Amino acid sequence: MTFKPAQWPRKLRSQEWYGGTSRDNIYHRGWLKNQGYPHDLFDGRPVIGILNTWSDLTPCNGHLRELAEKVKAGVWEAGGFPVEVPVFSASENTFRPTAMMYRNLAAMAVEEQMRAQPIDGAVLLVGCDKTTPSLMMGAASTDIPSIVVTGGPMLNGWFRGERVGSGTALWQMSEDIKAGKMSQDDFLDAEQAMSRSSGTCNTMGTASTMASMAEALGMALSGNATIPGVDARRRVMAQITGRRIVQMVKDDLKPSDIMTKQAFENAIRVNGAIGGSTNALIHLLAIAGRVGVDLTLDDWDRLGRDVPTIVNLMPSGKYLMEEFFYAGGLPVVLKRLGEAGMLHKDALTVSGAGVWDEVKDAVNWNEDVILPVEKALTQSGGIAVLKGNLAPSGAVLKPSAATPELMQHRGRAVVFEDIDDYKARINDDALDIDETCVMVLKNCGPRGYPGMSEVGNMGLPPKVLKKGITDMVRISDARMSGTAYGTVILHTAPEAAAGGPLAIVQTGDMIEIDVAGRRIHLDLTDEEIAVRLADWTAPEVPAVNGGYTRLYHDAVEGADTGADFSFLKGCRGNEVPRDSH
Ligand code: FES
């Protein structure tokens, strides 16, 4: 930690718009004054953009306008000038085919909004899965001082005396219906129990994981990730975040000062300890690409391999985010990693202090929620990266959500050429499949199913479910919801639509996986694979019919490097040409 605060006072970038007496200055300042701002607010104080992903159609972020008011109060208190700016809000539960297709669009829009406007510092007001990485990517590419405050998770769901975890319960109940264990009426009754307050998914799904990643990276104040969306302390967090960003601007504490390689290494270890979503891997690779940190899939495997999963939350465990908060939240996890020698303690955070200073006094109030190491859900948490002739650039699996007995397995492939093929045949009792088979789904990667939908945890065939079987090995180039579970191998790269070996797997081929050995193998010779690949032609992707989908299809990179657009990688800074009035 070598950060040296900048001298204050000094001229900020907003003064290019507001400071002075030129015609352009009067133009910019005068227009803003139509909102009733007094002249002395334009005296060179930090202008703080509150980048708000609120939308009626992003219900997970539905309460962010209220939080924005608290952020504003904090900014005013600290002597800043807050301006609330609506930004692209990619809702996980609304956007089709998947919010992931719009992560890069949102990141691009946020970057341009930050650079093109008189913003000296930004509060990234986020929550639902893609809103967090997209704003962090945009902020990283401008390197304008920025701080994250998330909306916080929903309260626990309860249905007939049982916890209902967002997403996790939905997957479980829909499998129970196929297996004849639950009625459709009961399923409808459970619907309202799943989402009983404002906030993001209450499981350790992607939203909670990304909130944890923001905190572990040092980009949010300590304790931010777990406070429930409706807890008064969430509003307090928003207000003190507003105060803090003003000082960050004065100090010139930028994303590139905070998001160093050490910070990413801390975050990867935290992901293992919390049993975090596989989606975090793609998002952190993309964020790292924006700040110029060399982060790879191998880093994920190397750093996560010996991290025990100690947070007992669904989908890997039993509890929900509300209980994680009451147990002490993420600071306890960071403290435990620090005590185990698995934390770069000096890594700088938005507070201006190192991460260890923030967490060293944390207390675990519930050892059934944040487990002792000897009771960890798995001793080898993290995300396992498998490689082999079926995935030369890697494929990933979340051990804490998988079935231990299936992590070494050899089975006959049952191949679905795309998601429509899967849907057409999976419920057919004539399908030649049993629980020893390996389900293979192709053409669902970033290009093949533009956006890389979360279909990798494809449901099992009813005839297998009816035997009481709940898991099978599944392989695809798709993603999986952070709330899902199973022995599911994802992000196979190169993807099928880009001509990866996954494209040439046929029903009846034998596939071996060995998670401990990090191996995934298609039982064919190199020559046989080469012959089949020579015959392969890229599939038509009917959804690509111009516009943004065309841009996405043509520019998106592989999941193994973060699925960003090739032309968006890197930091382009915040210089902007003078206006042309
Ligand atoms: Fe928005 Fe889970 S669907 S947080």
Give pLDDT tens digits for 261-270.
999 999 999 9
| Cα 547 off chain centre by | 25
Supply 307's token pair: 């991290």
Residue 128, ligand 1, Cβ within 6 A: yes
CA of 574 relative to ligand 1 center, distance in Å: 31
Concatenating the DSSP letter of every residue in 397-436 gives E-GGGS-GGGSEEEEEEEEESSHHHHHHHTT-TTS---TT
| Cα 557 off chain centre by | 17
Environment class of residue 462 by beta-carbon count within 10 Å: exposed (0-12), middle (13-18) or buried (19+)?
middle
Residue 3 CA to residue 20 CA, distance in Å, equals: 32
Residue 201, ligand 1, Cβ within 6 A: yes
pLDDT at 308 over 90: yes
pLDDT at 1 over 80: no
> What is the rounded average pLDDT of the residues 151-175?
92
Choose the weakest-confidence range: 32-41, 176-185, 225-234, 489-498: 176-185
The chain-wide mean pLDDT, for the chain, equals: 96
pLDDT per residue as tens digits for the range 331-365 = 999 999 999 999 999 999 999 999 999 999 999 99
Mutate to test the pocket of ligand 1, among 54, 129, 170 (most ligand atoms within 8 A of CB): 129
pLDDT per residue as tens digits for the range 428-480 = 999 999 999 999 999 999 999 999 999 999 999 999 999 999 999 999 999 99
CA of 150 relative to ligand 1 center, distance in Å: 12
CA of 91 relative to ligand 1 center, distance in Å: 7
Q: DSSP alpha helices (H): ranges in 5-63?
A: 15-18, 23-32
User: Phi and psi at residue 520, in whole multiples of 5°?
Assistant: -135, 125
CA of 129 relative to ligand 1 center, distance in Å: 6
Residue 92, ligand 1, Cβ within 6 A: yes
> What is the rounded average pLDDT of the residues 368-395?
95
pLDDT at 580 over 80: no
CA of 51 relative to ligand 1 center, distance in Å: 19
pLDDT of residue 558: 97
Residue 200, ligand 1, Cβ within 6 A: yes
pLDDT at 130 over 90: yes
b/e code 234-250 from CB counts within 10 Å (16+ = b)? bbebbbbbbbbbbbbbb
* CB neighbourhood size of 579 (10 A): 11
pLDDT of residue 106: 98
Choose the weakest-confidence range: 133-142, 298-307, 323-332, 537-546: 537-546
> What is the rounded average pLDDT of the residues 532-549?
90
pLDDT of residue 541: 82
> What is the rounded average pLDDT of the residues 200-216?
97
Residue at token pair 């089709």: 96
Residue 454, ligand 1, Cβ within 6 A: no
pLDDT per residue as tens digits for the range 101-117 = 999 999 999 999 999 99
Candidates 3.50.30.80, 3.30.499.10, 3.40.47.10, 3.60.15.30; CATH matching 384-545: 3.50.30.80
pLDDT per residue as tens digits for the range 507-527 = 999 999 999 999 999 999 999
Locate the ligand 1 atom nearest the alpha carbon of residue 207 and give its number: 4
CA of 345 relative to ligand 1 center, distance in Å: 31
Residue 406, ligand 1, Cβ within 6 A: no
Percent of the chain with pLDDT over 90: 92
Strand pairing class (391-397; 384-388): antiparallel
Residue 175 CA to residue 41 CA, distance in Å, equals: 58
pLDDT at 171 over 90: no
Long-range contacts of residues 368-372, Cβ cutoff 8 Å, at least 24 apart: 368/312, 368/319, 369/311, 369/312, 369/313, 369/319, 369/323, 369/324, 369/326, 369/327, 370/310, 370/311, 370/312, 370/324, 370/327, 370/328, 370/332, 370/333, 370/336, 371/310, 371/311, 371/312, 372/310
Task: For the chain, give every domain's residue range.
Answer: 15-155+197-375, 158-194, 384-545
pLDDT of residue 401: 87
Residue at token pair 């829009």: 109
The answer for 362, left when phi > 0, alpha when psi is -120 to 50, beta otherwise, is beta
- Give the three-class secondary structure for 199: coil
Q: Is the dihedral of CA 288, 294, 296, 299 positive or negative?
A: negative
Residue nearest to atom 1 of ligand 1 (CA): 128
* CB neighbourhood size of 24 (10 A): 14
pLDDT of residue 400: 86
pLDDT of residue 175: 86
CA atoms within 13 A on the CB side of 169: 26
Locate the ligand 1 atom nearest the alpha carbon of residue 91 and give its number: 1
| The residue type at 479 | R
Residue 120, ligand 1, Cβ within 6 A: no
pLDDT of residue 475: 98
pLDDT of residue 544: 85
